[in-house]
Amino acid sequence: MAKITLSIIKADIGSIGGHIKPSQKLLETVENYVKEKGRGFIIDYYVGFTGDDVAILTTHKRGVLNPKIHKLCWDAFLAGTKVAKAQGLYGAGQDLLVSAFSGNVKGMGPQVAETEIEERPAEPFLMFAADKTEPGAFNLPLYLSFADPMHCAGLILAPTIKKGFKWVIMDVAYTKADRVIELVTPEESYDVAALLRDNGRFVVESIWSRETQEQIVSASTTRLHNIAGKYVGKDDPVMLVRAQKDFPATGEILSPYTIGHFVSGFMRGSHTGPLMPVKKNSPISYFDGPPIVSCLAFSIKNGKLTEPADCFDQPYWDYVRTKISQKAEEIRRQGFSGAAMLSMSELEYTGVMETLKELEKRFKVRRK
């Protein structure tokens, strides 16, 4: 059977009233573009939003990093940007960092997660999209879903899962090329943890089954401020995760999102906030946040998608959201102090540097 490629490409191309959400007209324009211009070479598609970001999921047979697929999404974002400009939306075209398309959108601003699969008889997969945070936000949940039996019961109960996983982790501080390491769990799980503790530096790029050699996870690793060299918004990642059978179950993959772990992002991409699992097409609000993550589950047959099942639209997650709101409120109570605001190297607004430079001149060393 021919292989099927799943591609998620996501970008912030403008939103209503600040960084709340894209307009209906913008979304329709992006969706219609993909539908019309993708005819004949994409099998199926889904367009939705998470906070101020629009995500395009396509299924096709052209493999990963395919120029035609990437150009389709890039041009759909350009069409959406035109609408954003005409409507006066905020941050129109924000994530389209270069003026001309060249080959694929990696390194051009949008976030990308893709995988080419041999469809299993039943092929459930999850599409994650996060806003007001960074790619490392998926580090902890992935570790817990794939290496910790406290969340992944399959590590104890299912022999094929117990065999463990291969991790490909990227050093995103290295900008000249892709710098990656391969590690296996369970044998090297402490080494994986040693890297994944540093969300700003090391990011999971993919996870593979040691039982079947198949790719299970593909996550985006692009850091916009490494590309642009200046503040252009946070890097709001996307991720594809295949589920069930020889892979962790959907519920095991969702389980860690009950924590609302603290991540970088929030207001001005410069604060710490808890990651809140939200329903599909949720806006951003409190303190340009909180950092949010949506998750849509799909099934697929010969590349044809079902409608999405909204994983965080269930009463349990209302309770989780209330608890995470309390965490958000708690850290916001300390405003700019200490752990609430990011360290100098992670700040995305550099105005404070100029203030410090000015103040530097006024410091005096007291002679004893």
288 touching ligand F6R, by CB under 6 A = yes
Q: Which of 71, 162, 231, 323 does the annotation list as catalytic? A: 231
Polymer length in residues for the chain: 368
Complex with Mg ion: residue 19 or 223, whichever CB lies closer = 19
Among 10, 16, 19, 282, interactor with Mg ion by CB under 5 A: 19
Among 10, 14, 19, 317, interactor with ligand F6R by CB under 6 A: 19
Query: 134 is in the binding site of which of Mg ion, ligand F6R, none (Cβ under 5 to 8 A by kind)?
Result: none
Residue 234: active-site member: yes
Which region among 42-50, 70-78, 267-275, 290-298 touches ligand F6R (by CB under 6 A)? 267-275
269 touching ligand F6R, by CB under 6 A = yes
- Cβ neighbors of 287 (< 8 A, separation 6 or more) are 266, 267, 271, 273, 328, 332
Among 3, 17, 18, 335, interactor with ligand F6R by CB under 6 A: 18
Least Å from the CB of residue 26 to Mg ion: 13
For Cα atoms 198, 202, 208, give the angle at the middle one, nearest 5 degrees: 125
Among 163, 267, 299, 346, interactor with ligand F6R by CB under 6 A: 267
Distances (CA, A) of 241 to 8, 93, 235, 259: 11, 28, 19, 19
- Cβ neighbors of 269 (< 8 A, separation 6 or more) are 132, 231, 233, 234, 348, 349
268 touching ligand F6R, by CB under 6 A = yes
12 touching Mg ion, by CB under 5 A = yes
CB 332 within 8 A of CB 287: yes
Q: Which of 21, 234, 279, 280 does the annotation list as catalytic? A: 234
Burial of 33 (0-12, 13-18, 19+ CB in 10 A): buried
DSSP state of 283: P
Least Å from the CB of residue 133 to Mg ion: 9
CB 242 within 8 A of CB 118: no
E strand residue ranges, 119-247: 123-131, 165-171, 180-185, 202-209, 215-219, 238-242
Query: 18 is in the binding site of which of Mg ion, ligand F6R, none (Cβ under 5 to 8 A by kind)?
Result: ligand F6R
CB 26 within 8 A of CB 54: yes
Among 31, 114, 236, 348, interactor with Mg ion by CB under 5 A: 236
End-to-end CA distance of the chain: 82
123 touching Mg ion, by CB under 5 A = no
Residue 231: active-site member: yes
Among 14, 110, 164, 233, interactor with ligand F6R by CB under 6 A: 233
Binding site for Mg ion (CB under 5 A): 12, 19, 52-53, 91, 131, 233, 236
Q: Which residues are catalytic?
A: 12, 231, 234
